[in-house]
Amino acid sequence: MTASEIRALFAVAGRPEVVSLAGGMPPPDSLPLDLLSDIAARLVLTDAAASLQYGSAQGDVLLRESVVEVAAESGVHTHPGDVVVTTGSQQALDLLARILVDPGDAVLVESPTYVGALGVFRSYEAVVRHVATDADGMSPEGLRAAVAEERAVGRRVKLVYVVPNHQNPSGATMSSPRRDALVEAAAAAGVLVVEDDPYSLLGFDGGPIASLHRRDPGGVVHLGSFSKILAPGLRVGYAIAPPALRDKLVLAAEAAVLCPSAFAQRVVAAYLTEHPWREHVKGLRVMYRERCDAMTDALARHLPDARWLAPRGGFFVWARLPDGLDASALLPRAIQARVAFVPGSAFYAGDQGGDHARLSFCLPPPADVAEGVRRLAGVVTAERELRSAAGR
């Protein structure tokens, strides 16, 4: 097990003088605090027998019914019996790896991929293999080739892990034709797909593309979370899985935590059933689009020779630094300049991504996002000048 580069940054990035373009978290003023506090107080006073007791390892039925409604917004058609509530979607990913992955098994991931997934797969001693990925998502041809090559050397390929919507860290969204082809390729290879989907409702334009799960409910596990659209501190996520795997997830969850927090589940369920949560999500889309525009405008102005994909939603811009600069080497200087980001190497299992940085626009207000990019550009300019002087 190794420390997360992002977690290691939190202590520094949390200082008030530092503009944090590092962590992917909602700003405090985006949380519906008054509503949540009213719900929490009412539950303690009127529903303590259920909300403050042990509950089902599968999760509260009221919440599972609400999850069905929320998931339908992303094109996932299911019923409460196939939903397993977890302590954030991160726990769902851990439980899946615990059930499916033996040491030495292969797990196929995007290039780059979510750092939290890398930590999970490493902890179960999987061989993590990156599959070629572009602006449309993971390559189906690359998936087929990776499966064949892993099996040729005697490794079992246990699952394919993808973040299809506004991916962390790249910001890319998998196209609809690519989703069709990827699900078809995975099904032909007999490999389970894990679709991690915390960002689909945070697209800037229009509704989300229908999920991979909708294309093959028996071959895709869909993971969701309320961390990005409600409040991350509640730690409520879920998995929607085929029945045989769902039952194993419930057993694994029971062994890990006995049951997820009944109180947190009741808070989320009450919020979803009593308040216009879709209107709240619409407001989040507007807010994050403003922050994203501030970042891409500032990049164009201050770092025009960097390269990046303009995301269609989510929290992140994946930027290639100019002149092949190393992001990890720049980070200490960036901290001195009072700006934080995450080096691209954090999102790879091997020695890749050093010339990229993940820039998060979700937390600071737009003016601070632009100022953070300006500070980063100053660090890049100083590094170029040092290189030029050394070359002379």
Annotation: CATH topology of 5-31+279-391: Aspartate Aminotransferase, domain 1 (3.90.1150)
Q: Whole-angstrom Cα distance, residue 262 to residue 388?
A: 60
Tens place of pLDDT per residue across the chain (392 aa)? 566 656 666 667 678 899 999 989 999 999 999 999 999 999 999 999 999 999 999 999 999 999 999 999 999 999 999 999 999 999 999 999 999 999 999 999 999 999 999 999 999 999 999 999 999 999 999 999 999 999 999 999 999 999 999 999 999 999 999 999 999 999 999 999 999 999 999 999 978 999 999 999 999 999 999 999 999 999 999 999 999 999 999 999 999 999 999 999 999 999 999 999 999 999 999 999 999 999 999 999 999 999 999 999 999 999 999 988 999 999 999 999 999 999 999 999 999 999 999 999 999 999 999 999 999 999 999 999 888 887 65
Pinpoint the residues of the chain covered by CATH 3.90.1150.10.
5-31+279-391
Q: Whole-angstrom Cα distance, residue 228 to residue 234?
A: 11
Q: Whole-angstrom Cα distance, residue 350 to residue 370?
A: 32
CA of residue 346 relative to chain centroid, distance? 14
Does the CA dihedral 247-249-251-253 come out positive or negative?
negative
Q: Whole-angstrom Cα distance, residue 315 to residue 78?
A: 27
- Whether the CB-CB separation of 131 and 109 falls below 8 Å is answered with yes
CA of residue 221 relative to chain centroid, distance? 15
Annotation: CATH topology of 48-274: Aspartate Aminotransferase; domain 2 (3.40.640)
Q: Angle 303-109-260 (CA atoms, 0-180°, nearest 5)?
A: 105
Percent of the chain as helix, strand, coil, to the nearest 5: 50, 15, 35
Residue 90: count of CB within 10 angstroms of its CB: 21
Q: Whole-angstrom Cα distance, residue 36 to residue 376?
A: 37
Question: What pLDDT score was predicted for residue 6?
Answer: 60
Pinpoint the residues of the chain covered by CATH 3.40.640.10.
48-274
Question: What pLDDT score was predicted for residue 324?
Answer: 83
Cis, peptide link before residue 232, omega less than 30° from 0: no
The structure's pTM equals 0.95
Question: What pLDDT score was predicted for residue 206?
Answer: 77
Question: What pLDDT score was predicted for residue 15?
Answer: 81
Q: Whole-angstrom Cα distance, residue 182 to residue 193?
A: 9
Neighbouring residues of 339: CB distance < 8 A, sequence distance ≥ 6: 18, 19, 21, 372, 375, 376, 379
For every residue of 70-131, DSSP letters joined together read HHHTTT----GGGEEEESHHHHHHHHHHHHHPPTT-EEEE-SS--HHHHHHHHHTT-EEEE-
- Whether the CB-CB separation of 12 and 332 falls below 8 Å is answered with no
